[in-house]
Amino acid sequence: MKDHVARRGRWVGLVVAAGVLIAGTGCNVTYGTRAAHEPAPLVPDMDLPKELSMTTHPPITVAAPDILRIDASRLVPLPPYKIEPLDALYLFAEAPIEEAPVNGIYPVDPDGTINLGPSYGGQVQVTGMTPQEAEKVISKQLARRLKNPAVSVSVAQSKGVQQIRGEHLIRPDGTVGLGTYGSVYVAGMTLPQVKQCIEQHLSQFLLKPEVSVDVAAFNSKWFYIITDFAGSGENVVRLPATGNETVLDAISQVGGLSPVSSKKMWIARPAPAGQGNDQILPVDWKGITRRGHVRTNYQILPGDRVFVMSQPMTKLDTQLARSLAPAERLFGTTLLGATTVFTFRNQGLGFFGAGAGAPVR
C-alpha cells in the first residue's frame, strides 16, 4: 500500500512539474482584439481603387525577366553598305531568257553567294561588295548568256533586321540583345524610353532607324498570397499582376480559403523606398462574399501581400500539442519503464527461478 502511494505521489509530481514547465515557456498566443504579431490595422482609404472603381496602373517600367516584342519599320544600313551572308538582294535584269527571268529577291547564302539558276551559271560570290560592285559581277555572269545585260541590284533586307525583330528577353543585368548590334540597357524604363534608347543605339549602324516596342510577357510584376496554416507553417503563392485583380480574384486563384483559415485577412502594401510607412488594408471577407460589398475588395497592385490568418482555436490546439509532446513522450517512457519493472517484480522470480507461473514467495 505504501509503495502504491509513493508511486502515485511521483506521478503527481511529474504532472505538476510538466505544468510548471509549460506555463513557464508559454504558447505565445494572444487572442482578443489583436494578436501581438499582427500589424496594427489602419483606417482604409475610401479613395483606394477597388471593385467597380478600379484604376489603371502607372506607366509600365520593364525589368528582368520581362519579354519585349520589337518590330522594325525602318532599318536602312549606313552607306557604303557591304553585302553580308543572310542578306536579301533585289535583282532586275533587262532582256533575260524568257524561261528564266531575273526579277525578284535573292537570298545571300551563308557561303556568301547568290544562286542565279542553271540558266545563268549558278552561284555568284557577292559578300563584302557594295550593291554597285555586285551589279558588275552579276552583269559579267549574265553576259555569258545575254548580250549587254542591264542589271540593277539593291538590298531588300539586311540580316540585321532578322536579329532585331522578334521577342527579346530582358536579361538579369537589365539588357536586351540585338544580335550583331550589341546590347542595350533598358531596365527601369518605360516603353517610349526603351524605343528611344534602342533607336539611338542602332543609329550607330543604321540610317535613321525606327522601331516599335511592346511587352510580350509581363514576368517582373507579381503579388503574393500568404496563408497561415495554424502553427504548421505559412504557404506563399506568387501570382502575376495583370492589372485588374481584386482580393476576391486573388483568393480564387489559390482555390479559396484553406480548412484552417479564418475570415480575418488584410493587404500589406509596401511603400516605395523612402516614401513613408507601408499600408495595412483590412479586408471584410464576409462582406465581400456574403453581402456583395466592394468597400474592401481592393484592387491588387504589384508587390501587394494578401495575408490570411488561421483560426485561433486551431492554432492554439496545434501549439498546445507541440508544447505537450515532450511531456507526453516523457510520461510514456516513464509509464513503460514502471510497467516493465512491475511485471518483472511480480513474475520475474518465477521466470528466472522456479519457472513460469510459480507462486512468488
The whole-number pLDDT of residue 176 equals: 95
Residue 85 to residue 278: CA distance in whole angstroms: 57
Distance separating alpha carbons of residues 143 and 138, to the nearest angstrom: 9
Is the per-residue pLDDT at 68 higher than 90? yes
Cis (ω within 30 of 0) for the bond into 65?
Answer: yes
CA–CA distance, 151 with 17 (Å, rounded to integer): 105
Tell me: cis bond preceding 59? Omega within 30 of 0 counts: no
Place of cell 483606394: 48
**pTM of this prediction exceeds 0.95:** no
Q: Which residues pair with 157 in a beta bridge?
A: 88
Is pLDDT at 298 greater than 80 in this prediction?
yes
Give the pLDDT score at 12: 43
Question: Which range among 25-34, 151-160, 168-177, 333-342 shows the weakest confidence by mean pLDDT?
Answer: 25-34
**pLDDT (tens digit, 9 = 90+) per residue, 114-152?**
998 888 888 899 998 988 899 899 888 888 888 778 888
Q: Which domains does the chain have, with CATH numbers?
A: 67-75+166-217 (3.30.1950.10), 82-157 (3.30.1950.10), 222-313 (3.10.560.10)
- Of the given ranges (153-162, 244-253, 304-313), which has the lowest mean pLDDT? 153-162
Among 190, 105, 215, 211, which residue's Cα sits nearest to residue 153?
A: 105
C-alpha cell at 241: 499582376
In this prediction, residue 86 carries a pLDDT of: 85
If residue 113 lies in a helix (H) or strand (E), which one and from where to where? Answer: strand 113-115
Q: What CA–CA distance (Å, rounded) separates 173 from 233?
A: 34
Looking at this protein, which amino acid is placed at residue 259?
P
Instruction: Tell me the percentage of the chain whose pLDDT exceeds 90.
Output: 32
Those residues whose C-beta lies under 8 Å from the C-beta of residue 152, and which sit 6 or more positions away, are 90, 91, 92, 93, 135
- Tell whether the model's pLDDT for residue 33 goes beyond 50: no
- Copy the grid coordinates of residue 132: 554597285
Please calculate the CA angle 264-265-270 and round it to the nearest 5 degrees.
Answer: 155
Whether the predicted pLDDT of 2 surpasses 50: no
Answer whether residue 75 shows pLDDT above 80. no
Give which of 229, 250, 228, 247 is closest to 239, Cα–Cα: 250
How many Å apart are CA 194 and CA 212, to the nearest integer?
A: 9
* Pairwise pLDDT comparison (18 vs 215), residue with the higher score: 215
Alpha-carbon gap, residue 228 to 231, rounded angstroms: 7
